[in-house]
Amino acid sequence: MPASTLEKSVAGKVAGKYLTFIVGSVAYGIPILKAREIIRLLDITPIPRLPAHIKGVINLRGKIVPVIDLRMRFGLPEATTTNRTCIIVTQVEIASATKLMGLIVDALEEVYSINAEDIEPAPHFGNGNTVSCIEHMAKVRGQVKALLNIDQMVQEDHEGLPLSFPALETTPAQS
């Protein structure tokens, strides 16, 4: 299959509705079906010996949910929180198990319907980069949005965690 046809078929598969948000000065998006809810910034219980970008866990109506600070995950300096800072609670796949994960973002944008013709593969940034979770780029209203593969991002984080952290241990996906 020619490369351009392959790229179009992949773009067709990722076309759809995306929740977009700001981290630093960049707009990102995740598939809307990955977003479970959006909550204000809660008190986060830190867990020792985790990477700095994994801030700890929150108690969300009786469920323990790990929280990642996307600014720190992307190598940006910590910023002062504002009234627009929030946590997007997402549903991610880790080693064929479904888990909830919180993502701290600077601000929400909106939900966009992104067509296949507006999606391109992410440019190659070289080996050893920290943006391997950016899968595609979308052109929306004259702006570029980086579309994240949060499953891959969380899987990369999970592989480096100490085995004794049960909040991120995998359990079989439940129907």
User: Is pLDDT above 60 for 8?
Assistant: no
Q: What is the pLDDT of residues 136-171, one digit of tens each?
A: 999 999 999 999 999 988 887 766 554 444 544 444
Q: Is residue 129 part of a domain?
A: yes
* Structure confidence at residue 131 (pLDDT): 64
The CATH number linked to 110 is: 2.40.50.180
Q: Is residue 171 part of a domain?
A: no
Q: Is residue 16 part of a domain?
A: yes
* Structure confidence at residue 171 (pLDDT): 43
* Structure confidence at residue 101 (pLDDT): 94
Q: Is residue 122 part of a domain?
A: yes
Q: What is the pLDDT of residues 34-57, one digit of tens each?
A: 999 999 999 999 999 888 999 999
Model-wide pTM > 0.75: yes
Q: Is residue 34 part of a domain?
A: yes
Q: Which domain does 139 fall in, by range?
A: 3-166
DSSP H stretches of helix in the chain: 3-14, 70-73, 150-159
Domains of the chain: total: 1
C-alpha span between 104 and 81 (Å, rounded): 10
User: Is pLDDT above 80 for 66?
Assistant: yes
Q: Is residue 174 part of a domain?
A: no
Q: What is the pLDDT of residues 9-33, one digit of tens each?
A: 555 678 899 999 999 999 999 999 9
C-alpha span between 9 and 17 (Å, rounded): 17
Q: In sequence order, which residues have a C-beta less than 8 Å from that of residue 6 and are 6 or more positions away?
A: none
Q: Is residue 172 part of a domain?
A: no
Beta strands in 7-150 (DSSP E): 16-23, 26-31, 35-40, 54-60, 63-69, 86-94, 97-105, 107-114, 119-121, 134-140, 143-148
Q: Is residue 173 part of a domain?
A: no
